[in-house]
Amino acid sequence: MNEEIYDVTIIGGGPAGLFAAFYSGMREMKTKIIEYLPYLGGKVPYFYPEKVIRDIGGIAHATGEEVTEQLVKQAMTFDPAVVLGEQVVDMQRMEDGNFQLVSSNGNTHYSKTIMLATGFGTLHSVKLDHPEAVYYEEKSLHYTVRKLADYYDKHVLISGGGNSAVDWALELENIAKSVTLIHRRDQFKGLESSVTKLKNARVNVMTPYEIKELHGTDGQIKKVTLKHLDNAAGDKELYIDRVVVNHGFQINLEPITSWGLEMIDGMIAVDSSMQTSVEGVFAIGDIAHYPNKLGLIAGAFNEGPIAVNHAKKIVAPEDPVNHLFSTNFAAFTEEE
């Protein structure tokens, strides 16, 4: 049993948690990160390693893997403790006011404050609802694009109508031999600029269609039958090498929902200090709910420092809540 007490324990090692760990180090708080996955970075390096991230100020063009690499390097500036491959399943306040966290493997952690940066919990891609899909998964049927080179000179079919589907169609346009994007509805939910770019691209857009049948052998899809949803055009067949399904994610917030935190629409309610309904417990990033929230990575980079400053006031009540900047600290210099 490790009874060392930390000032703040950040549950979740994605972008929000990583930047919060860096800022916590600047405030000279003893910091620990606990991440469920066996690596830091959260869903970004897993689902979007080669996807270009464009919504962070000052970074015009960087892949998910590149952004993650820089975030991890920045987070390690002040040497936080890092625990990987552990899922925290229980949180209890002890008699001395500190928190005890228990992981699924029985490990215990102790902290004066807690910061939940879990994203939407554990995420799993919504699988293609087709009986034969399992025979092609991770061979020629995928739920994200991990290596663009795997799609070079291929005939690619993408199914979905959100930002990811539109972005991947545009990303693969100049790599694949052909790209077809299908959606069950006539309208796409992606950002306006991306949808406009899609309309002017060489991507073959087909609506309203869905995948009806997969045809192939030994895990390799060779042909796909598409069903027209209002039956006006009938079925169509396309010769396809790769299928990418972007139908969203299945979200699992267990066991957080049993910790006594106020929840709103599957998210954790926070106040202007990013504190939850339990004093000393903060939430940042996708999991945090407050009015007019904008789910950008850049937004999470602001939420973390806000939470850290107020956690610092709990840990050291005599210290004021200062608005501090990285340029104030010699520990983070250009030479490093």
The domain limits of the chain are: 5-123+250-328, 127-247
| pLDDT score, position 335 | 47
Cα gap 146→98, rounded to integer Å? 41
Could you please report the per-residue DSSP string of 209-278? EEEEEEEEETTEEEEEEEEETTSSS--EEEE-SEEEE---EEEE-TTGGGS---EETTEEE--TTSB-SS
Closest CA to 179 of 152, 146, 155, 208: 155
Over its length of 336 residues, how does the chain's per-residue pLDDT go in tens digits? 458 999 999 999 999 999 999 999 999 999 999 998 889 998 787 777 778 888 788 888 888 889 999 999 999 999 999 999 999 999 999 999 999 999 999 999 999 999 999 987 666 678 898 889 999 998 999 998 888 899 999 999 999 998 889 989 999 999 999 999 999 999 998 788 889 999 999 999 999 999 999 999 999 999 999 999 987 778 999 999 999 999 987 666 778 888 999 999 889 999 999 999 999 999 999 999 999 998 888 899 999 999 999 999 999 988 766 666 665 555 554 444
Residue 82, number of CB atoms within 10 A of its CB: 17
> Do 5-123+250-328 and 127-247 fold alike per CATH?
yes
Indicate the CATH number for domain 127-247.
Answer: 3.50.50.60
- Give the separation between CA 83 and CA 120, rounded to whole angstroms: 20
* CA 109 to the chain's CA centroid: 24
39, 46, 151 from 146: Cα distances, Å: 16, 8, 10
Q: Could you tell me which of 245, 213, 235 has the C-alpha nearest to residue 140? A: 245
List the structure tokens of 327. 């340029």
pTM of the model: 0.76
CATH 3.50.50.60 fits 5-123+250-328, yes or no: yes
Assess whether the previous peptide bond of 38 is cis (omega < 30° from 0). no
In sequence order, which residues have a C-beta less than 8 Å from that of residue 327 and are 6 or more positions away? none
